[in-house]
Structure 1
Amino acid sequence: MSEAWTQHGKVRVREADGVMEVVVDGLTTQAKYYKPLIYEFFRKAWRGSRPAWGEFAVEIAMEYVGDPPWLDLDNLAKAILDALKGYAFHDDAQVARLLVERKPGDRERITVRVARLG
C-alpha cells in the first residue's frame, strides 16, 4: 500500500488498489468501545472512497503484549463490521469471508483489512 494514512485520535486508515486498512491503537476488553470509535473516525475525518457493492473479505487481527485480553472475538468482529458499514461496504451481509484472530504483537492494536473479492 502506498497511500498516506488519514488519522483521527486512535484510528488511522489508508486505502489503495481497492483495499482498505484500518488500525486502532490500544486495546480494551469492551468490544462495544470500538464501534463508536471507528464510526466517529469515518464520520469526522474520512474523505476516501464511498461504499461499494459486491462481496468482500475482511481480516481482523487483535495484537496484544503480555497476556491476551479477555475479549470475545465474535463481539469484536460484529462491532467493527457495524462501524465499517456505510463506508467500506453498504451492508455487512456483503462480507463473504471473515478471519478474526488474536495474536501476540510488538504493540497493542487492532488491524482490519477489507478487500473486494473477484
Structure 2
Amino acid sequence: MPMERLLPILLLLGSNIFMTFAWYGHLKYKSAPLALAIFASWGIALFEYTLMVPANRWGSAVYSAPQLKGLQEVITLVVFAGFSIWYLGQPLRWNHWAGFALIAVAAWLIFLEP
C-alpha cells in the first residue's frame, strides 16, 4: 500500500486511540469528579485532533470524505473493542460483534465504485 494511502489510516488509528481514552477512559474512575473527567477528556482530545485533522486533510487527496468517515468508523470499532476488553474489562458479546460487523459491511459498501 502506498504511503499516501497508509499514512491517513495510521493517523486515524492513533487518533482513535486517544479519542477512545478521552470518551471512555474515565469510566474506570467513576468516583472522580465529573468536572475533572471533562477537563481530562478535553486534554486528551487535543492529541486526538492533532492526528485527526492531518489524517483527514492528507487523506482527502486519495480518499473521498465518505470513504474517510467509513475508515474512521471501522477503526473506531476495532480500537473500542480492544479497549473495552483490555482496559475496561468488559468483554463483547455476540450481538456486539454482529453489530460491529454490520457497520464494517456498511463501510465496505462506501468503497465500492458505482
TM-score by length of 2: 0.30
By percentage of residues, which structure has more strand?
Answer: 1
Relative contact order, CA 8 A, sep 6+: which one is greater?
A: 1
TM-score, normalised via structure 1 length: 0.29
